[in-house]
Amino acid sequence: MAQLSADEAAFGALMSVEQAAERAFALVVPVPEVQTLPLADADGRVLAGDVVAALDLPPFANSAVDGYAVRFGDLSASGETRLPLAGRVPAGADAAGLATRGNAIRVFTGAPMPQGADTVFMQEDVVLEGETVVLPSGLARGANARPAGEDIARGDLAVPSGQRLRPQDIALLAALGETELVVRRRPRIAIFSTGNELTEPGRPLGPAAIYDANRSLLRAMVTRAGGAVVDLGILRDDRASLAESLKQAAGHCDLILTSGGVSTGEEDHVKAAVEQAGTLDFWRIGIKPGRPVAMGLVAGKPFVGLPGNPVAVFVTFAFVARPLIARLGGCAYRLPPSLPVRLGFRYRKKAGRREYVRVSLAPGPDGIPEASRHPQDGAGVLTSLTRTDGLVELPDAATEIAQGTMAAFYPYEALLA
């Protein structure tokens, strides 16, 4: 989008992405309601309290391999050791009563270590001569033996409050014997699109009409962010009806999220409707695409108004709305780490705003990932999102970025996790 006037001259000073996030966080608190769910249904939910390990994991010392358990003190310090075979312990069996002093015990992966044994030789390193095992020298004390509590000790913090549960968290909690978890209620996020030109997909298109893509985008992104979507459909460009719809949504939702109508045009009524129904906190951020982002309160509930162009919706959701939804859901959210890539293009930008450029990655001649810019960078070009791999972040202060510069890259998959 070409603009002749400078941002600050036309609109006043722009707020940084970090300032916007801080202001947004100050307006919300986590939803207080919690619910108890079976462990099997808790993936993706936010834990409402610390879970402390109720037992050692593993709960008993066991063998990490198929092999032979011995007392390290019985081994020769200078050469091979020959020990009689005095027992056999498969996984799940009881090792009690086996005599380990001066003996070797056949064990299998996961089998409990016999009392007194502290070291396990892998079976492929051992020669079996009848009922005698020949053990090579050089193995360290404790090799291939897993002590009780090696993974986590009883009483230690297993998963902290505020963790959005992942499959690996679920596995750890299952290993600790947990069957139910107390989690936060999903925050209810009201979404609607605004614009007289918008039509619901599946209905006939009128003259100068387009299908509403933004609501579908927001539904999917809100769901991935852990929110429960309350879809209010398409609202027309009328200030009074918009203000009434905002107040009604505030009555049963935790956040109101819109797209479109927050810029400076004569038909951009969302900004005025928020001011009529509540208070507007800020509405211009130094981010491209997506400068016009509104934030405020409607009947005590937070409101976020994203731009109307779908690429701007995607970018501003990822860097502004996504952390806010995490905060609302009680989640300890952190922006995913960026990856260093080399720019395969030159770029010129204005100082004072952070730009996110849609790029595809390919290995450079030296193996370093190299980013190529999508040829169409308009904020309304959806294929610039579907045909690229992620976003390159260009710093606020930068103006001339040379080809070959290293930059921070955010894969779409990480931003949508």
Domain boundary among 295, 328, 361: 328
Q: How many CA atoms lie within 13 A of 250 on its CB side?
A: 19
Identify whether 416 is part of a domain: no
Domain co-membership, 263 together with 211: yes
pLDDT of 5 > 50? The answer is no
pLDDT of 303 > 60? The answer is yes
Render pLDDT for 6-50 as a digit per residue (tens, 0 to 9). 444 334 568 888 888 778 777 788 999 999 999 999 999 999 999
Q: Are 408 and 338 in contact (CB under 8 A)?
A: yes
DSSP codes, 130-146: TTEEEE-S-PPTTTTEE
Render pLDDT for 327-343 as a digit per residue (tens, 0 to 9). 999 997 788 999 999 99
Non-local CB neighbours of 113 within 8 Å, separated by 6+ positions = 60, 61, 62, 63, 69, 95, 107, 120, 145
Kindly state the tokens that stand for 174: 């299952």
Domain co-membership, 319 together with 385: no
Q: How far apart are CA 61 and CA 149, in angstroms?
A: 8
Domain boundary among 328, 361, 386: 328
Distances (CA, A) of 209 to 104, 123, 261, 351: 81, 73, 16, 36
Helix axes 270-277, 239-250, angle to 10 degrees: 50
Domain co-membership, 20 together with 84: no
Non-local CB neighbours of 202 within 8 Å, separated by 6+ positions = none
Domain boundary among 299, 328, 357: 328
Q: How far apart are CA 269 and CA 260, in angstroms?
A: 9
Non-local CB neighbours of 84 within 8 Å, separated by 6+ positions = 102, 103, 104, 131, 132, 133
Non-local CB neighbours of 287 within 8 Å, separated by 6+ positions = 17, 20, 293, 315, 316, 319, 320, 353, 354, 355, 356
Identify whether 157 is part of a domain: no
DSSP codes, 342-405: EESS-EE--TTSEEEEEEEEEE-TTS-EEEEE-S---TT-THHHHTS-EEEEE-TT--EE-TT-
Identify whether 136 is part of a domain: yes
| 3-class SS of residue 161 | coil
Domain co-membership, 297 together with 308: yes
pLDDT of 140 > 70? The answer is yes
Q: Which range has the worst mean pLDDT, 168-182, 280-294, 309-323, 399-413?
A: 280-294
Domain co-membership, 132 together with 256: no
Nearest one of 400, 320, 407, 404 to 358, comparing CA atoms: 407
User: Predicted confidence band at 267 (pLDDT cuts at 50, 70, 90)?
Assistant: low
Query: How many domains is the chain built from?
Result: 4
Domain co-membership, 48 together with 176: yes
Domain co-membership, 376 together with 272: no
Domain of 353, CATH number, reads 2.40.340.10
Domain co-membership, 317 together with 213: yes
Domain of 94, CATH number, reads 2.170.190.11
Q: How far apart are CA 163 and CA 44, in angstroms?
A: 9
Identify whether 264 is part of a domain: yes
Identify whether 386 is part of a domain: yes
Identify whether 210 is part of a domain: yes
Domain co-membership, 222 together with 344: no
In degrees, rounded to 5, the angle at the alpha carbon of residue 205 between the alpha carbons of residues 200 and 211 is 40
Q: How far apart are CA 311 and CA 315, in angstroms?
A: 6
Domain co-membership, 324 together with 403: no
pLDDT of 269 > 90? The answer is no
User: Predicted confidence band at 268 (pLDDT cuts at 50, 70, 90)?
Assistant: low
**Secondary structure, 3-state, 302-330:** EEEEECCCHHHHHHHHHHHHHHHHHHHCC
Domain of 49, CATH number, reads 3.90.105.10
What is the domain range of residue 322?
7-33+185-328
Domain co-membership, 41 together with 173: yes
Nearest one of 198, 275, 201 to 237, comparing CA atoms: 198
Q: Are 85 and 102 in contact (CB under 8 A)?
A: no
Average pLDDT, the chain: 91
Domain co-membership, 76 together with 106: yes
